[in-house]
Amino acid sequence: MKCPNCGKDVKNDRDVCPYCGTKLSTCKSALKKWILEPKTVSIFGMCTGGLMLVMLLMTTRIDTIMKRVNLFFHNDDFNTTITCLQFIPPIYYLAFVLAIMTMVLATIHYYKGKDYRLMIFSSLITAQTILMIANMKFIRMLQAILMAYRNSLTNETIEFDIFYLFGHLSEMKRMFLIMLIFGLIVLAYAIFMFILNNKEGK
């Protein structure tokens, strides 16, 4: 680390600068606090990206079922699909809250430390939040399908709605997948930041 007084490099195990005699213990605690802040942001980012990965896996599972059975589900396929669908909205809203919190933290910490990595991450998580807002209509339609299922409408009606929402030509589904894939970029960058912060903290 560098001495804040004279600017010369000092070994991390030193408590006093050998060049100017400045005490470094307070500097070390301040450095640890500074390291902790980006680490906290990266942890929030990893949680957000991780939830995107979970939703992507669920969506892929639904696509696999639909490709296999063409138009109408077998009972097991239908039950598996409904189970996946029921988990997507709560995971989505949790990820949305985490994305907003991460965006705020990343922006605050960037203006505190002027770290370019936080600036990049703040831009990524802001774009992720905007994509999530754009996909609210998709989630609302999914919730309407689930509400119809809970109200015991016929399976054929629910199946048609699912195929309409998750159809390969659906613009909303395409937008939803873009959001999920972008979430993987957020996850990868958050992991990268976490690893770097760990190295700098040693």
- For residue 109, tell me if it sits in a domain: yes
Tell me the whole-structure pTM to 2 decimals: 0.72
- For residue 21, tell me if it sits in a domain: no
User: With bands split at pLDDT 50, 70 and 90, how would you rate the model's confidence at 111?
Assistant: confident
Flag the least confident range among 10-19, 54-63, 68-77: 68-77
- For residue 28, tell me if it sits in a domain: no
CB atoms within 10 A of CB 31: 17
User: With bands split at pLDDT 50, 70 and 90, how would you rate the model's confidence at 189?
Assistant: very high
What does the alpha-carbon distance between residue 202 and residue 198 come to, in Å, rounded to a whole number? 7
pLDDT tens-digit series, residues 112-142: 766 788 888 889 999 999 999 999 988 888 8
What does the alpha-carbon distance between residue 120 and residue 126 come to, in Å, rounded to a whole number? 10
- For residue 32, tell me if it sits in a domain: no
For residue 35, the model assigns a pLDDT of 47
What does the alpha-carbon distance between residue 118 and residue 38 come to, in Å, rounded to a whole number? 7
Q: Is the dihedral of CA 165, 167, 170, 174 positive or negative?
A: positive
In which domain, by residue range, is 183 found? 37-201
- For residue 93, tell me if it sits in a domain: yes
Q: How many domains does the chain have?
A: 1
- For residue 184, tell me if it sits in a domain: yes
- For residue 190, tell me if it sits in a domain: yes
Provide the H-helix boundaries in 114-154: 116-134, 136-150
- Range 105-111 average pLDDT: 80
Closest to 44 (Cα-Cα) out of 91, 85, 95: 95
Q: What value does the mean pLDDT of the chain take?
A: 78
- Higher pLDDT: 78 or 50? It is 50
Closest to 121 (Cα-Cα) out of 202, 49, 33: 49
Residue 16 in contact with residue 59, Cβ under 8 Å? no
φ, ψ (nearest 5 deg) of residue 168: -65, -20
- For residue 174, tell me if it sits in a domain: yes
